[in-house]
Amino acid sequence: MIVKHEPSPLWLRAWDRDRLAERIEDAVRRGLAGWPLDSGPQLFFRADDVAAPGERCDRMFRIFHDRGAPLDAAVTPAWISSPRAAGLLKLASGPARVDFHVHGWRHVNHETAEPGEPLVSGGKPPKKCEFGPSRPRKAKQRDLETARSRMTGLFGDAFLPVFTPPWNRCDAETLELLADLDFIAVSRDGGALPAAPPTLAEFPVLVDLHTRREDDPDAGMDALLDELAAGLRLPVCGVMIHHQRMNEAAAVFLETLLTALADFQEVRLAGLRSIPGR
């Protein structure tokens, strides 16, 4: 299991909580400006790379429980075991609804250029993808079947048959397999291609809290709040979390965000289980 723990530069600054609240509220108002009176978007929070209970995982769950906000946890099935699942279910028990869904199988990249093979995109290697065109259909189907079976056995009623592909990308063949295997939805970046089959709902993530690349914290915060405003202009908006990269500053932002959102009745905090169209 390999995950990154380094916080993005955005979270290497201690932000003032009161000022954060003001800026978040401004971003929410900007996002809601185009909505008719008494209507607004549904907002969900998706935590990726969930695999084992621990200090940062516990902190994330407590933030949602303390505010009664639903959370969807994307679990990499090959990383999970019975003791780990039991620990996660214990953390999930509380005021907030927490569901668990499939985040790939092993979270391993299979899209690497072979020796002598020309690179794509101006000399860059292929983008990372676990369920991409380099793998045979049977191999992808086997992994998806095994992933679903393991998640069902370990999480029971808390398992939701939604698929989040590692790195938020997969190929058309994988999407067809998901529909054939009775997955109900896929959650990727907003506007991700190829499009899912009609029987597979799309739950897009449009706001990225922790895997940001801006070197300047001010630029990072401006971009993050602009993402939030833009996402809230759409009917469904997902917020992506990586708890392993969530230091104190990032945790304070998440707490402040959830507290601020509670004051906007137009924004419905929803788990994927409750969003219509799934």
pLDDT digit string, tens, across residues 146-186 = 999 999 999 999 999 999 999 999 999 999 999 999 999 99
Domains and CATH numbers, the chain: 9-272 (3.20.20.370)
Residue 126: per-residue pLDDT: 80
Tell me which amino acid residue 45 is.
Answer: F
In this predicted structure, the answer to whether residue 120 has a pLDDT above a threshold of 50 is no
Confidence band, pLDDT 50/70/90 cuts, at residue 17: very high
Residues 68-78 pLDDT 10s? 999 999 999 99
Residues 187-238 pLDDT 10s? 999 999 999 999 999 999 999 999 999 999 999 999 999 999 999 999 999 9
Show Cβ contacts of residue 46 under 8 Å, excluding neighbours closer than 6 positions.
72, 73, 74, 164, 187, 203, 205, 238, 239, 240, 241, 272
Which residues of 54-177 form beta strands (DSSP E)?
71-75, 98-102, 159-163
**Mean pLDDT rounded to a whole number for the chain:** 93
Q: Give bridge partners of residue 73 from the DSSP assignment.
A: 47, 100
Q: What would the two tokens of residue 26 be? A: 């401004």
The pTM for the full model equals: 0.93
The phi, psi pair for 123, rounded to 5°, reads 90, 0
- Give the highest mean pLDDT range of 16-20, 35-39, 114-118: 16-20
Tell me which amino acid residue 236 is.
Answer: V
In this predicted structure, the answer to whether residue 29 has a pLDDT above a threshold of 90 is yes
Nearest residue to 95 via CA among 64, 54, 55, 59: 64
| Side-chain-facing half-sphere of 167: CA atoms under 13 Å | 17
Residues 34-68 pLDDT 10s? 999 889 999 999 999 999 999 999 999 999 999 99
